[in-house]
Structure formats: C-alpha cells, structure tokens
C-alpha cells in the first residue's frame, strides 16, 4: 500500500542541499572573496594614479616647465596620496606637436595560494596641452 503523502503527489525523499554541496558553495565563496581582497586595493591604487594624471591637465604652469616638472609633480602627488607601489619612472612623457602625451602601463602581481597568482594590467593616457 502507498502512504498518503505519496498518493497526493508529495515526495517522501530527502530535500535540500547535502553537506558536500554546502561545502562546495562555501569553498567557492571563500575563493572569490580571497581574489576580491587581493585585487581591490590594486584597483583603488590605479584610480588614484589615474586621478593624479588627469589632475595634471589643471596645472598649466607645471606643463609649461616640461617633462621633468611633470614627472616631479606626479611623484609628489603620488607621495602625498601614499601610493608607493607605482614609481614615477614608469610614466612615459612624449613631446608631441602642441602637447605632451602622458601615459602609464604597468602590471601588478598578487599572490593567492601556493603557485597561484593574480596578474592585473593597468594603463591610462592623458594629453597635456602646452601653452
């Protein structure tokens, strides 16, 4: 004979996630949280570098003094913002007709576990008009 629960169409077996399923989900959450914790500070650093580069547009007196003054002003801005991971020598300043091209391309490598690293590439370019 069948039970009443089976007769009305209900399942009588186990329902929900198993212990193994829960452990896999927790493992994935921890893994992606670790990646996020490793990557987020580098993105904030890049946002500050980009902001410093964009801010150079508003300093015509520095731009008029040339590449050395631009690099020095960037270095000072990064130092004030406590950006120690980006060296001012990584900035490229190219003199063009009527402006300077200020650019940076760099990589950040963060260690996760064992032999697994995260590599992030950042780049930004700004045109600084000469007067």
- φ and ψ of 124, to 5 deg: -155, 150
What pTM was estimated for this model as a whole? 0.76
Residue 5: per-residue pLDDT: 52
Residue 42: per-residue pLDDT: 94
Hey, how many other C-beta atoms are within 10 angstroms of the C-beta on 94?
11
Residue 13: per-residue pLDDT: 67
Separation of alpha carbons 119 and 107, rounded Å: 7
pLDDT above 70 coverage of the chain, percent: 89
H/E stretch holding 33 reads helix 19-55
* Residues 2-40: tens digit of each pLDDT: 555 555 666 666 677 788 889 999 999 998 998 999 899
């Amino acid at each position: 004979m069948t039970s009443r629960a089976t007769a009305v169409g209900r399942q009588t077996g186990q329902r929900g996630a198993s212990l193994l399923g829960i452990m896999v989900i927790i493992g994935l959450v921890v893994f992606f949280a670790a990646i996020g914790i490793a990557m987020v500070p580098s993105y904030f650093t890049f946002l500050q570098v980009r902001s410093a580069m964009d801010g150079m547009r508003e300093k015509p007196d520095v731009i008029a003094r040339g590449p050395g003054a631009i690099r020095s002003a960037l270095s000072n801005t990064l130092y004030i913002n406590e950006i120690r991971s980006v060296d001012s020598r990584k900035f490229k300043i190219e003199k063009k007709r009527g402006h300077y091209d200020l650019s940076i391309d760099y990589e950040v490598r963060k260690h996760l576990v064992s032999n697994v690293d995260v590599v992030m590439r950042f780049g930004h370019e700004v045109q600084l008009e000469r007067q």
